[in-house]
Structure 1
Amino acid sequence: MTCGHCVASVTEELKELSGVQNVDVLLDAQGISTATVTSTEKLSESSIREAIDEAGYTVEAINA
C-alpha cells in the first residue's frame, strides 16, 4: 500500500467481515503496512486473505 486510498480500500473490505468492530491500518509506503483488526468473532485466515485480496493487495503474514 502506498497511500490513503489504499488504506481505505483495505479497511472497507476488512470491515465487511462478520463481527469486525474496528480496523486500524499503519501505512508504510516504503515497506510492509500493518492492519490490526478488532472483532467480536474469530476470523478465519482465509476470510482475512480474501478480503485483502479483494482490495487488491497480498497478505504477507497473519498474527493472531
Structure 2
Amino acid sequence: MMSGTPRVFVGATAFLIAGMTSPTDLRAVTAVINGFPGVQVVAADQLTGLVTVTTEQPVNRTDVTAAIVQAGYTVLA
C-alpha cells in the first residue's frame, strides 16, 4: 500500500494488480473483490491491471489486498 493511502475506504479506490493475463484471471480477481460486504462495483481492466472498487460501507484495503494475494496475484499499488 502506498504511503498516505487510507487503510479503510468508502466510495471508490483503485488497485494496480500484476498477473491478470487472461479473462479467467480477470474473473477470479473480480470474484475475490466482490466477495467483500459493501462492495458495489468492480471495474477491472486486464490490459492495464487497474481495478476500481466502489463500496457503500467501509472496507479495509489491507483485507482486500490480502485476498487478492491469496488468490495468486500481486498488488502493486
Q: Distance in 2 between matches of 1:23 and 1:55?
A: 16
1:13 corresponds to which residue? Answer: 32
More strand by share: 2
3-state SS of the aligned residue for 1:53?
A: helix
TM-score by length of 2: 0.68
How big is the shift at 1:20? Answer: 0.4
- Structure having the higher helix fraction is 1
- CA-to-aligned-CA distance 1:17-37 (integer Å, 9 cap, x gap): 110011110112xxx501001
Structure 1: stretches of 5+ with no match in the other structure: none
Partner of 1:4: 23
Equivalent residue, structure 1, for 2:16: none
User: Aligned Cα RMSD in Å?
Assistant: 1.2
Identity of aligned residues (%): 33
Q: Which has the higher contact order (CA 8 A, sep 6+)?
A: 2
What is the rounded CA distance, in whole Å, between the counterparts of 1:18 and 1:40 in structure 2? 9
The answer (yes or no) to whether the contact 1:20–1:40 under 8 Å persists in 2 is yes
Which 4+ runs in 1 deviate beyond 4 A? none
TM-score normalized by the length of structure 1: 0.80
Q: 1:46 aligns with which of 49, 62, 66?
A: 62
- Could you tell me how far 1:42 is from its partner in structure 2? 2.0
